[in-house]
Amino acid sequence: MNGQTAGAKIDYDQIARRYDSFRGGRGPYLELLVELAASLGARRILEVGAGTGNNTLAFHAAAPSASLFACDLSCGMIQRAREKEAPGAWLRADAHHLPFTAQSFDFCFGCYMLHYIHDLAAFTGECSRVLAAGCVAFVTASHEFIDRHPMNRYFPSFAAVDKARFPSIDLLKAALAAAGFQDVCEKRMVVAQGPIGPDYLKRVENRFISTFDLLSEDEFNTGLARLRADIHARGRLDVMSEWETVAVWARKGPG
Ligand SMILES: C[S@@+](CC[C@H](N)C(=O)[O-])C[C@H]1O[C@@H](n2cnc3c(N)ncnc32)[C@H](O)[C@@H]1O
Protein backbone atom coordinates (compact mmCIF):
# COMPACT_ATOMS: atom_id res chain seq x y z
CA MET A 1 0.00 0.00 0.00
CA ASN A 2 1.22 3.45 -0.58
CA GLY A 3 -0.02 6.96 0.01
CA GLN A 4 0.65 8.29 -3.46
CA THR A 5 -2.18 10.54 -4.57
CA ALA A 6 -3.68 10.41 -8.02
CA GLY A 7 -2.09 12.80 -10.48
CA ALA A 8 0.49 14.10 -8.04
CA LYS A 9 4.09 13.03 -7.45
CA ILE A 10 3.79 13.22 -3.71
CA ASP A 11 4.27 10.08 -1.68
CA TYR A 12 3.16 10.89 1.83
CA ASP A 13 4.38 7.49 3.02
CA GLN A 14 7.90 8.61 2.15
CA ILE A 15 7.70 12.16 3.42
CA ALA A 16 5.65 11.64 6.60
CA ARG A 17 8.51 12.40 8.99
CA ARG A 18 9.74 15.38 7.04
CA TYR A 19 6.18 16.71 6.76
CA ASP A 20 5.63 16.34 10.47
CA SER A 21 8.84 18.11 11.45
CA PHE A 22 8.09 21.16 9.29
CA ARG A 23 4.30 21.32 9.55
CA GLY A 24 3.29 21.56 13.16
CA GLY A 25 -0.40 22.38 12.58
CA ARG A 26 -1.36 25.03 15.14
CA GLY A 27 -3.06 27.11 12.47
CA PRO A 28 -5.35 30.03 13.25
CA TYR A 29 -8.24 27.91 12.02
CA LEU A 30 -8.14 25.42 14.88
CA GLU A 31 -10.00 27.66 17.27
CA LEU A 32 -12.73 28.25 14.68
CA LEU A 33 -13.11 24.51 14.02
CA VAL A 34 -13.26 23.68 17.71
CA GLU A 35 -15.82 26.45 18.30
CA LEU A 36 -17.96 25.25 15.41
CA ALA A 37 -17.96 21.70 16.75
CA ALA A 38 -18.71 22.95 20.28
CA SER A 39 -21.56 25.19 19.08
CA LEU A 40 -23.24 22.06 17.67
CA GLY A 41 -22.54 20.03 20.76
CA ALA A 42 -20.80 17.60 18.39
CA ARG A 43 -20.08 14.24 20.03
CA ARG A 44 -18.87 12.29 16.99
CA ILE A 45 -16.16 14.02 14.99
CA LEU A 46 -14.47 12.86 11.79
CA GLU A 47 -11.28 14.34 10.35
CA VAL A 48 -10.58 13.43 6.72
CA GLY A 49 -7.02 13.59 5.34
CA ALA A 50 -5.90 13.85 8.95
CA GLY A 51 -2.19 13.45 8.18
CA THR A 52 0.04 13.14 11.23
CA GLY A 53 -2.65 14.01 13.75
CA ASN A 54 -1.91 17.64 14.54
CA ASN A 55 -5.57 18.62 14.38
CA THR A 56 -6.87 15.58 16.26
CA LEU A 57 -4.42 16.40 19.05
CA ALA A 58 -5.80 19.95 19.20
CA PHE A 59 -9.39 18.74 19.10
CA HIS A 60 -8.83 16.24 21.85
CA ALA A 61 -7.26 18.91 24.06
CA ALA A 62 -10.28 21.19 23.54
CA ALA A 63 -13.01 18.56 23.65
CA PRO A 64 -11.65 15.47 25.45
CA SER A 65 -14.99 13.72 25.72
CA ALA A 66 -15.84 13.83 21.99
CA SER A 67 -15.48 10.64 20.01
CA LEU A 68 -12.81 11.22 17.35
CA PHE A 69 -12.27 9.36 14.10
CA ALA A 70 -9.45 10.18 11.71
CA CYS A 71 -8.74 8.82 8.26
CA ASP A 72 -5.98 9.33 5.73
CA LEU A 73 -4.86 7.66 2.53
CA SER A 74 -1.25 7.30 3.65
CA CYS A 75 -0.13 4.54 6.02
CA GLY A 76 3.08 6.49 6.66
CA MET A 77 1.19 9.56 7.85
CA ILE A 78 -1.06 7.42 10.05
CA GLN A 79 1.95 5.64 11.49
CA ARG A 80 3.52 9.00 12.40
CA ALA A 81 0.22 10.07 14.03
CA ARG A 82 0.22 6.87 16.08
CA GLU A 83 3.84 7.44 17.15
CA LYS A 84 2.72 10.85 18.44
CA GLU A 85 -0.15 9.16 20.25
CA ALA A 86 -2.66 11.24 18.34
CA PRO A 87 -6.05 10.50 19.84
CA GLY A 88 -8.98 8.89 18.09
CA ALA A 89 -9.65 5.83 16.00
CA TRP A 90 -7.42 5.93 12.92
CA LEU A 91 -8.00 4.15 9.66
CA ARG A 92 -6.64 4.22 6.18
CA ALA A 93 -9.32 5.40 3.77
CA ASP A 94 -9.79 7.36 0.59
CA ALA A 95 -11.85 10.49 1.17
CA HIS A 96 -13.84 9.73 -1.97
CA HIS A 97 -15.18 6.52 -0.39
CA LEU A 98 -15.56 7.02 3.34
CA PRO A 99 -15.88 3.68 5.13
CA PHE A 100 -18.65 4.75 7.50
CA THR A 101 -22.36 4.17 7.56
CA ALA A 102 -24.74 7.05 6.89
CA GLN A 103 -25.26 9.66 9.60
CA SER A 104 -22.33 8.49 11.74
CA PHE A 105 -20.98 11.95 12.65
CA ASP A 106 -22.04 15.39 13.88
CA PHE A 107 -18.98 17.23 12.58
CA CYS A 108 -16.67 16.40 9.70
CA PHE A 109 -13.61 18.43 8.73
CA GLY A 110 -10.46 18.41 6.64
CA CYS A 111 -7.43 20.71 6.65
CA TYR A 112 -5.22 21.26 3.63
CA MET A 113 -6.39 18.10 1.91
CA LEU A 114 -8.85 19.40 -0.72
CA HIS A 115 -6.06 19.76 -3.28
CA TYR A 116 -5.86 15.96 -3.35
CA ILE A 117 -9.53 15.52 -4.08
CA HIS A 118 -10.00 14.77 -7.78
CA ASP A 119 -13.80 14.58 -7.56
CA LEU A 120 -15.13 17.34 -5.31
CA ALA A 121 -18.77 16.36 -5.96
CA ALA A 122 -18.10 12.76 -4.86
CA PHE A 123 -16.24 13.92 -1.77
CA THR A 124 -18.78 16.51 -0.60
CA GLY A 125 -21.49 13.91 -1.27
CA GLU A 126 -19.64 11.47 0.99
CA CYS A 127 -19.33 14.12 3.72
CA SER A 128 -23.07 14.71 3.51
CA ARG A 129 -23.81 10.99 3.66
CA VAL A 130 -21.74 10.30 6.78
CA LEU A 131 -23.06 13.37 8.61
CA ALA A 132 -26.24 13.36 10.64
CA ALA A 133 -27.61 16.88 11.13
CA GLY A 134 -24.36 18.75 11.67
CA CYS A 135 -21.61 20.65 10.00
CA VAL A 136 -18.80 20.13 7.51
CA ALA A 137 -15.72 22.40 7.51
CA PHE A 138 -12.62 22.67 5.37
CA VAL A 139 -9.44 24.67 5.66
CA THR A 140 -7.58 25.46 2.48
CA ALA A 141 -5.58 28.06 0.53
CA SER A 142 -7.26 30.63 -1.70
CA HIS A 143 -6.11 31.37 -5.24
CA GLU A 144 -5.63 35.00 -4.16
CA PHE A 145 -3.15 33.94 -1.48
CA ILE A 146 -1.37 31.65 -3.92
CA ASP A 147 -1.06 34.51 -6.42
CA ARG A 148 0.54 36.89 -3.95
CA HIS A 149 2.81 34.32 -2.29
CA PRO A 150 6.37 35.67 -2.01
CA MET A 151 7.85 32.47 -3.45
CA ASN A 152 6.35 33.29 -6.86
CA ARG A 153 9.30 35.53 -7.56
CA TYR A 154 11.74 32.63 -7.13
CA PHE A 155 9.74 29.75 -8.58
CA PRO A 156 7.93 30.82 -11.77
CA SER A 157 5.53 27.84 -11.81
CA PHE A 158 4.58 28.18 -8.14
CA ALA A 159 1.15 29.76 -8.61
CA ALA A 160 0.24 27.71 -11.68
CA VAL A 161 1.05 24.44 -9.88
CA ASP A 162 -1.04 25.32 -6.85
CA LYS A 163 -3.99 26.90 -8.66
CA ALA A 164 -4.25 23.75 -10.78
CA ARG A 165 -4.79 21.60 -7.70
CA PHE A 166 -6.44 23.76 -5.02
CA PRO A 167 -10.13 24.33 -5.78
CA SER A 168 -11.10 28.00 -5.73
CA ILE A 169 -13.21 29.05 -2.76
CA ASP A 170 -16.16 29.71 -5.09
CA LEU A 171 -15.89 26.22 -6.56
CA LEU A 172 -15.79 24.69 -3.09
CA LYS A 173 -18.82 26.66 -1.94
CA ALA A 174 -20.74 25.66 -5.06
CA ALA A 175 -19.84 21.98 -4.51
CA LEU A 176 -21.11 22.15 -0.92
CA ALA A 177 -24.37 23.76 -2.02
CA ALA A 178 -24.77 21.16 -4.78
CA ALA A 179 -24.31 18.39 -2.20
CA GLY A 180 -27.26 19.83 -0.27
CA PHE A 181 -25.41 21.76 2.43
CA GLN A 182 -26.96 24.99 3.66
CA ASP A 183 -25.66 28.28 5.06
CA VAL A 184 -22.26 28.03 3.39
CA CYS A 185 -19.84 30.42 5.14
CA GLU A 186 -16.21 31.39 4.76
CA LYS A 187 -13.66 33.13 6.91
CA ARG A 188 -10.22 34.27 5.81
CA MET A 189 -7.56 34.53 8.49
CA VAL A 190 -4.15 36.11 8.05
CA VAL A 191 -1.29 35.55 10.45
CA ALA A 192 2.00 37.44 10.22
CA GLN A 193 4.86 34.93 10.07
CA GLY A 194 7.77 37.34 10.41
CA PRO A 195 10.73 37.95 8.12
CA ILE A 196 11.74 35.62 5.32
CA GLY A 197 15.24 34.82 6.53
CA PRO A 198 17.41 31.77 7.33
CA ASP A 199 14.62 29.88 9.12
CA TYR A 200 12.30 30.23 6.16
CA LEU A 201 15.13 29.19 3.81
CA LYS A 202 15.59 26.00 5.83
CA ARG A 203 11.89 25.23 5.42
CA VAL A 204 12.08 25.73 1.67
CA GLU A 205 15.22 23.55 1.50
CA ASN A 206 13.16 20.85 3.17
CA ARG A 207 10.20 21.45 0.82
CA PHE A 208 7.89 22.28 3.70
CA ILE A 209 4.96 22.63 1.34
CA SER A 210 4.23 20.01 -1.31
CA THR A 211 4.30 22.65 -4.06
CA PHE A 212 8.09 22.34 -4.04
CA ASP A 213 7.83 18.59 -4.72
CA LEU A 214 5.82 19.34 -7.84
CA LEU A 215 8.27 21.75 -9.46
CA SER A 216 10.89 20.37 -11.82
CA GLU A 217 14.22 19.72 -10.07
CA ASP A 218 15.75 22.37 -12.29
CA GLU A 219 13.20 25.02 -11.33
CA PHE A 220 13.44 24.09 -7.65
CA ASN A 221 17.25 24.18 -7.57
CA THR A 222 17.48 27.43 -9.55
CA GLY A 223 14.88 29.18 -7.38
CA LEU A 224 16.44 27.86 -4.18
CA ALA A 225 19.89 29.11 -5.22
CA ARG A 226 18.46 32.60 -5.88
CA LEU A 227 16.55 32.61 -2.60
CA ARG A 228 19.65 31.46 -0.72
CA ALA A 229 21.80 34.14 -2.35
CA ASP A 230 19.31 36.93 -1.51
CA ILE A 231 18.97 35.82 2.10
CA HIS A 232 22.72 35.42 2.55
CA ALA A 233 23.32 38.86 1.01
CA ARG A 234 20.71 40.80 2.98
CA GLY A 235 19.80 38.58 5.93
CA ARG A 236 16.16 38.60 4.90
CA LEU A 237 13.88 39.46 1.99
CA ASP A 238 12.19 42.84 1.73
CA VAL A 239 8.77 41.24 2.20
CA MET A 240 7.40 39.58 5.30
CA SER A 241 5.89 36.15 5.32
CA GLU A 242 2.19 35.93 6.03
CA TRP A 243 -0.08 32.93 6.13
CA GLU A 244 -3.60 33.33 4.88
CA THR A 245 -5.84 30.41 5.56
CA VAL A 246 -9.49 30.09 4.56
CA ALA A 247 -12.11 28.13 6.45
CA VAL A 248 -15.30 27.20 4.60
CA TRP A 249 -18.11 25.51 6.46
CA ALA A 250 -21.74 24.59 5.89
CA ARG A 251 -24.61 22.98 7.70
CA LYS A 252 -26.50 19.82 6.99
CA GLY A 253 -30.07 20.09 8.23
CA PRO A 254 -32.07 17.24 9.72
CA GLY A 255 -33.74 14.73 7.43
C1 LIG B 1 -1.05 18.50 3.27
S2 LIG B 1 -1.43 17.03 4.16
C3 LIG B 1 -2.50 17.67 5.44
C4 LIG B 1 -2.54 16.79 6.65
C5 LIG B 1 -3.37 17.33 7.84
N6 LIG B 1 -4.73 17.56 7.48
C7 LIG B 1 -2.78 18.59 8.41
O8 LIG B 1 -3.45 19.62 8.41
O9 LIG B 1 -1.63 18.52 8.86
C10 LIG B 1 -2.59 16.24 3.07
C11 LIG B 1 -3.04 14.88 3.58
O12 LIG B 1 -4.09 14.40 2.75
C13 LIG B 1 -3.92 13.00 2.60
N14 LIG B 1 -4.66 12.57 1.40
C15 LIG B 1 -4.34 12.78 0.12
N16 LIG B 1 -5.28 12.25 -0.68
C17 LIG B 1 -6.22 11.70 0.11
C18 LIG B 1 -7.43 11.00 -0.13
N19 LIG B 1 -7.87 10.77 -1.37
N20 LIG B 1 -8.14 10.55 0.93
C21 LIG B 1 -7.70 10.76 2.19
N22 LIG B 1 -6.56 11.43 2.48
C23 LIG B 1 -5.83 11.89 1.45
C24 LIG B 1 -2.42 12.83 2.50
O25 LIG B 1 -2.01 11.48 2.73
C26 LIG B 1 -1.95 13.81 3.55
O27 LIG B 1 -1.85 13.20 4.82
Q: For the segment 96-123, what is each residue's pLDDT rounded down to a tens digit?
A: 999 999 999 999 999 999 999 999 999 9
Question: Which residue's CA is the closest to the ligand 1 atom numbered 16?
Answer: 116
Q: Which CATH architecture has domain 12-142+166-190+243-252?
A: 3-Layer(aba) Sandwich (3.40)
Residue owning the nearest CA to atom 4 of ligand 1:
51
Q: From the CA of 49, give the closest atom in ligand 1.
A: 22
Question: Edge-to-edge strand order for the sheet containing 105-111?
Answer: 89-92, 67-72, 44-48, 105-111, 131-140, 240-252, 182-195
- Nearest residue CA, atom 13 of ligand 1? 49
Torsion on CA atoms 74, 75, 81, 84, rounded to nearest 10? -150
E strands present in 1-124 = 44-48, 67-72, 89-92, 105-111
201-233 burial, b at 16+ Cβ within 10 Å, e below that, comes to beebeebbbbbbebbeeebbeebbeebeebbee
Ligand 1 mutation pick, 11, 73, 111, max ligand atoms within 8 A of CB: 73
Task: Write the pLDDT tens digit of every residue in 113-151.
Answer: 999 999 999 999 999 999 999 999 999 999 999 999 999
Ligand 1 contacts CB of residue 94 (under 6 A): yes
pLDDT tens digits for 8-46? Answer: 578 999 999 988 988 776 788 999 999 999 999 999 999
Mutate to test the pocket of ligand 1, among 72, 82, 118, 209 (most ligand atoms within 8 A of CB): 72
Structure confidence at residue 8 (pLDDT): 53
State whether the beta carbon of 95 lies less than 6 angstroms from ligand 1. Answer: yes
Amino acid at site 77: M
Query: Quick one: pLDDT at residue 5?
Result: 45
Q: Are 71 and 90 in contact (CB under 8 A)?
A: yes
Instruction: Please classify residue 84 by burial: count the beta carbons closer than 10 Å to its beta carbon, then call 0-12 exposed, 13-18 middle and 19+ buried.
Output: middle
**Interaxial angle between packed helices 169-178 and 120-130, expressed in degrees from 0 to 180 and rounded to the nearest 10:** 50
Q: What is the pLDDT of residues 85-100, one digit of tens each?
A: 999 999 999 999 999 9
Query: Does the beta carbon of 46 sit less than 6 angstroms from any atom of ligand 1?
Result: no
**The model's pTM:** 0.93
CB of 81 closer than 6 A to ligand 1?
Answer: no
73 lines ligand 1 (CB under 6 A): yes
Nearest to 186 by CA among 203, 199, 172, 207: 172
The rounded Å distance from CA 111 to ligand 1 centre is 8
Please tell me what DSSP assigns to residue 125.
H
**CA 78 to ligand 1 centroid distance, Å:** 10
112 CB less than 6 Å from ligand 1? Answer: yes
Taking only the tens place, the pLDDT of each residue in 229-249 is 999 999 999 998 899 999 999
Atom from ligand 1 closest to the CA of residue 47: 6
70 Cα–ligand 1 center, Å: 11
Nearest CA among 61, 66, 59, 62 for reference residue 43: 66
Q: Please, which residues have CB within 8 angstroms of residue 219's CB and are 6 or more apart in sequence?
A: 155, 156, 157
Q: Is 74 in the pocket of ligand 1 (CB under 6 A)?
A: yes
